[in-house]
Copies of this chain bind each other. A is one copy, B any other.
Amino acid sequence: MDFVSQYKGRVDQALEKFFSYKMAGKRGIEKEAISKLREFTMRGGKRIRPLFMILGYWLNSDIDDKIVSASVSLELMQSYLLIHDDIIDQSEVRRGGPAFHKMFGYADRVSEGVSIVCADLSDAFSHEALLEVDFVPDRLNSAMRLMSEIVEQTGVGQLMDITLSLGNDMSLDDVTAIHKYKTAQYTVNGPMKMGATLSGYRDPEKIDEYGIPLGIAFQIQDDILGMFGNEKELGKSVVSDFEEGKKTHLILYTYEMAKRGDVEFIKDRLGKKGISGSDFQRVKDIIENSGALDKTRELANSYYEHAVSSINGLTDSPTKRSQLRAMADLMVRRVS
């Protein structure tokens, strides 16, 4: 079995074990809250963050039960942040089911209030899951520090995203900065550095050269798939990013590269619900024919190449180098 399937399975088992331990002896609203957090967390997700944490640990140590147990902390953190995000965005669907604040039978505002607190519980759980594993104390301290930095940087990215999306002056640099904070640090680089730190890896800062560009490339590829992907393979609508008005490299490059009338055509429709099939096809044609699609792909590829070129500096092991390469391919060359 390959690395991803093998460890995804073990992470899922460790998550189930954590929730069972937390549920034991609980009753009333506490039991309901934990049970809903369990359902929400187990419902889906590719466990990318735990996988990168395990990969980071592997740089300096054999993979053991300890790092698998510790890695569930990142899925609990993910649930904490997703629940808040969905309330903020008033999203109704997540991971093929209802958003967390749609899982309660209370009036809307009460359900949202209860969900804000349940997310905060998941935050506390994420710290507990990491702290209860028996690592060398000062390594554990350092990993905790990294985890707080991840939450901080993700929050900063989220604030930039919310407030810059309100105006019309989001720049390409802003989009890249948001990708760096909200995706690269949070999904790839932070988790990997946490794992490396827990294994006593000598120079975790070196991982920045792999994790940050790979995370940015991953997010750009995600934006491309969000418009040009296959709905069946993605399992989600390819118009939703556009209807939400998401300003991506694709869109901003098109504003620079397309003819004025075509740009107006897109601006008139971006962020509005109910675009017709033929209008959406024209939007995609404009993006493609202006050269913006190719330029975005090239940008993703240059970040990917940067990440891949750093691999030999991270480890001497051919097996580990090849797995770092495989993860990079999986993140960026994917179709869903």
Contacts and interface: CB of A to CB of B under 8 A. Distances in A.
Given A30-B156, A163-B114, A166-B110, A148 B121 contact: no
A123 B80 CA distance: 12
Nearest to A165: B110
Contacts of A118: 155, 159
A128 to B, nearest CB: 5
A5 to B, nearest CB: 32
Interface string A95-122: 0000000000010011011101110110
Interface residues of A, number: 48
Given A30-B159, A156-B30, A87 B114 contact: no
Q: Is the interface of A mostly helix, strand, loop or mixed?
A: helix
Contacts of A148: 124-125, 127-128, 131
A160 B128 contact: no
Given A110-B162, A128-B145, A131-B144, A120 B28 contact: no
A127 B124 CA distance: 11
B106 A88 contact: no
Contact of A138 (B120, B137, B152): B137
A15 interface: no
A217 to B, nearest CB: 24
